[in-house]
C-alpha cells in the first residue's frame, strides 16, 4: 500500500538556524510530491511541489525541497528559520492513477528565540 512517512512528529529549532523536515514515500513509481504548511486553526497552504525535472524545487517563504529517487525522499529545507515559520508541515503524494492525495501525519515546528 502507498504511504507517506514523516518520521519527526515535532521539531524545535532556534530562530536563524537551518531546518530540514523529512518525508519518505512508499510507491513503485515516482509520484507527484507536495509540501503544505498549516498555521493553527487554518487551512493548508501549498509551499512547493515536484512533478518532474530539476530535483531541487524552490517554494514560497524561502523553502526548498529536494527529491531523491534512490531514497524515496522529498525533504523540505530552509537555510534560516523565522519565528513566523512555526506551524504544522505536511508532505503529500499524488499518484499517477486515481485522484487522491496521500498525506503524512505532519511535523510540528516550534521556533525559539
Partner 1 sequence: SQTIHQWPATLVQPVGSPLSLECTVEGTSNPNLYWYRQAAGRGLQLLFYSVGIGQISSEVPQNLSASRPQDRQFILSSKKLLLSDSGFYLCAWSGGSKKDTQYFGPGTRLTVL
Q: Is the Cβ–Cβ distance between 35 and 106 less than 8 Å?
A: no
CB of 16 to partner 1, least distance (A): 28
Q: Report d(CA 82, CA 2) in Å as an integer.
A: 33
CA-atom Rg of the chain in angstroms: 14
Question: Burial, 15: exposed, middle or buried (Cβ in 10 Å; 0-12, 13-18, 19+)?
Answer: middle
CB of 94 to partner 1, least distance (A): 6
Contacting residues toward partner 1, per CB under 8 A: 32, 34, 36, 41-46, 49, 51, 90, 92, 94-101, 103-106
CB of 83 to partner 1, least distance (A): 22
Grid cell in block for residue 51:
512533478
In this complex, which beta carbon is closest to partner 1, that of residue 33 or of residue 81?
33
In this complex, which beta carbon is closest to partner 1, that of residue 75 or of residue 108?
108
In this complex, which beta carbon is closest to partner 1, that of residue 96 or of residue 113?
96
Amino acid at each position: 500500500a502507498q504511504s507517506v512517512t514523516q518520521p519527526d512528529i515535532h521539531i524545535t529549532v532556534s530562530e536563524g538556524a537551518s531546518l530540514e523536515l523529512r518525508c519518505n514515500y512508499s510507491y513503485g513509481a515516482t509520484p507527484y510530491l507536495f509540501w503544505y504548511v498549516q498555521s493553527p486553526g487554518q487551512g493548508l497552504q501549498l509551499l512547493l511541489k515536484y512533478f518532474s525535472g530539476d530535483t531541487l524545487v524552490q517554494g514560497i517563504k524561502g523553502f526548498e525541497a529536494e527529491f531523491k529517487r534512490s531514497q524515496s525522499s522529498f525533504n523540505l529545507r530552509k537555510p534560516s528559520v523565522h519565528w513566523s515559520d512555526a506551524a504544522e508541515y505536511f508532505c503529500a503524494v499524488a499518484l499517477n492513477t486515481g485522484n487522491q492525495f496521500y498525506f503524512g501525519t505532519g511535523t510540528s515546528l516550534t521556533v525559539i528565540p
